[in-house]
């Protein structure tokens, strides 16, 4: 039972992987538009990787994108996923150069649970079959590479995709594969670009590969496309993951060819009184050409507009040399660049040396503190002189029964010049707390001066 449960979990994971890995996906932007007939007569069905097909919905089934259906195959039936319905299917047929009168295969039904179980079980055999078939081709010493294997939904047929540089006689290979796997064998040759599209990946631009996203017809790419666009002929930069020239080199080559029709030849040197100018590079869409000339033994670069280059060439053909490279009466246009108006993006915004109001407040606090210390010193000196004179004229009361804050016992009276609150037990004489000196509110007491006691008079 445990082994069966593990097989079911494995089959479910493979099914989910097939559902998520869709190549050449098309966004149906007309899905939310109401049409008179919601049931599509023709639907697009996708299979493994980049394999797709158009099928006739003769049973008028209400199909939606993402549903698993059983379709006609030869022989038997195949299982696929609906990828597109509605009016966009006809547009996709035009893109694939399919005529309307072509007889299409039929959609049988929506897939049943036992159809899906057999389909997922066939998917689980694909990787192992590919590894074994590669070993068989190696044993037969065939100059070919099997890149992928796809089982039919009913598990009666398998398609072997292979790559070969030259013609290969694989009749013996088909016999061995049929005897080994007990299924019908179909061999299909693909190129390096199709293999990259089936495998998929991320390009140097950070986006999914074009061959696995939308390209269905692969056009030949040459290095002339790179020359028209002034791209460095570096094989490592120009080659894609298929080791061929990148397909995106052809995307903008037509615009570059049209823009270069009005640009003069780059092989002609310009003759001026400052010297001969040699071409370095061209800004095709900016219509500017950069030249270099020797000035006082130093190579100097100068950017000249295309119209000025044409004028200089015309003068050179007449045997004349222009005085200046650039026209003096033409004002140089100021390049509009990004301006940081607020200043929040400056890297030196924290390096401002201007005095802040906080620093001024700190100086004012220091100045007030000095004034307070000076005033407290003067008051402390006056209080100390006054208390010393009073101590010389009065003696402390040493009566043991006198209590602080209480009345003396009968028969006894404090001596003259003593304060009853100052009387206490012997050995526990406490200094009286005099009134606080006059100082500003909310100011700390200076730490360098002791607390002064001022007895009541």
- pLDDT tens readout for residues 355-370: 555 555 666 777 777 7
pLDDT band at 449 (very low <50, low <70, confident <90, very high): low
Number of helical (H) and strand (E) elements in the chain, helices listed first: 11, 12
Q: Measure the CA–CA gap between 77 and 71, rounded to whole angstroms.
A: 6
Domain boundaries, the chain: 2-112, 125-196, 219-259, 263-317
CA-closest candidate to residue 162, choices 147, 174, 151: 147
For the chain, the first-to-last Cα distance in angstroms comes to 107
pLDDT band at 406 (very low <50, low <70, confident <90, very high): very low
E strands, 214-330, are 270-272, 275-283, 288-295, 298-305
Each residue's pLDDT tens digit, 282-303: 999 989 999 998 877 788 899 9
Q: Which CATH architecture has domain 125-196?
A: 2-Layer Sandwich (3.30)
Tokens of 448: 């360098």
Identify whether the C-beta of residue 55 lies closer than 8 Å to the C-beta of residue 43.
yes
Q: Is the pTM of this model over 0.75?
A: no
Evaluate if residue 184 carries a pLDDT over 50.
yes
Identify whether the C-beta of residue 445 lies closer than 8 Å to the C-beta of residue 452.
no
Task: Give the DSSP letter string of 32-56.
Answer: TS--S--S-SEEEEE-STT-EEEEE
pLDDT of residue 414: 45
Each residue's pLDDT tens digit, 242-263: 889 999 999 999 999 999 988 9
More confident residue, 275 or 408: 275
- Please give the class, per CATH, of domain 263-317: mainly beta
Q: Measure the CA–CA gap between 408 and 418, rounded to whole angstroms.
A: 12
- The contacts of residue 256 (CB under 8 Å, 6+ apart) are 228, 229, 284
Q: Measure the CA–CA gap between 120 and 155, rounded to whole angstroms.
A: 10
């Amino acid at each position: 039972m445990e082994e069966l449960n593990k097989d079911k979990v494995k089959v479910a994971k493979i099914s989910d992987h097939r559902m998520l890995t869709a190549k050449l996906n098309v966004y149906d932007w007309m899905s939310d538009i109401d049409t008179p007939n919601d049931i599509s007569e023709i639907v697009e069905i996708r299979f493994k990787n980049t394999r797709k097909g158009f099928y006739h919905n003769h049973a008028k089934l209400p199909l939606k994108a993402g549903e698993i259906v059983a379709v006609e195959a030869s022989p038997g039936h195949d299982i696929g996923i609906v990828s597109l319905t509605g009016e966009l299917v006809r547009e996709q047929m035009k893109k694939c150069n399919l005529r309307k009168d072509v007889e299409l295969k039929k959609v049988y039904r929506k897939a049943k649970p036992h159809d899906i179980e057999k389909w997922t079980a066939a998917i689980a055999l694909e990787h192992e079959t590919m590894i074994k078939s590669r070993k068989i081709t190696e044993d037969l010493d065939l100059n070919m590479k099997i890149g992928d294997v796809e089982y039919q939904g009913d598990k009666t047929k398998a398609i072997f995709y292979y790559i070969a540089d030259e013609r290969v006689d694989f009749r013996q290979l088909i016999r061995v594969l049929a005897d080994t796997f007990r299924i019908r064998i179909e061999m299909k040759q693909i190129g390096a670009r199709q293999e990259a599209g089936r495998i998929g990946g991320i390009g140097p631009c950070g986006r999914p590969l074009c061959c696995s996203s939308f390209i269905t017809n692969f056009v030949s790419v040459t290095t002339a496309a790179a020359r028209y666009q002034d791209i460095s002929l570096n094989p490592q930069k120009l080659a894609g993951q298929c080791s061929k020239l990148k397909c995106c080199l052809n995307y903008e080559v037509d615009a570059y060819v049209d823009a270069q029709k009005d640009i003069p030849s780059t092989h002609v040197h310009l003759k001026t009184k400052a010297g001969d100018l040699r071409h370095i590079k061209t800004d095709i869409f900016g219509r500017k050409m950069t030249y270099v000339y020797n000035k006082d033994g130093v190579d100097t670069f100068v950017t000249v507009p295309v119209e000025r280059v044409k004028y200089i060439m015309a003068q050179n053909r007449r045997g004349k040399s222009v005085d200046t490279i650039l026209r003096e009466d033409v004002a140089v246009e100021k390049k509009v660049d990004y301006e940081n108006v607020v200043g929040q993006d400056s890297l030196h915004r924290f390096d401002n040396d201007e005095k802040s109001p906080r620093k001024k407040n700190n100086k004012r606090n220091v100045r007030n503190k000095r004034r307070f210390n000076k005033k407290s010193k003067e008051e402390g000196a006056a209080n100390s002189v006054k208390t010393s004179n009073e101590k010389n004229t009065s003696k402390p009361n040493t009566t043991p029964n006198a209590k602080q804050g209480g009345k003396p016992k009968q028969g006894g009276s404090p001596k003259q010049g003593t304060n009853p609150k100052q009387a206490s037990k012997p050995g526990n004489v406490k200094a009286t707390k005099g009134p606080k000196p006059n100082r500003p509110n909310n100011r700390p007491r200076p730490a360098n001066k002791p607390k002064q006691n001022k007895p009541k008079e």
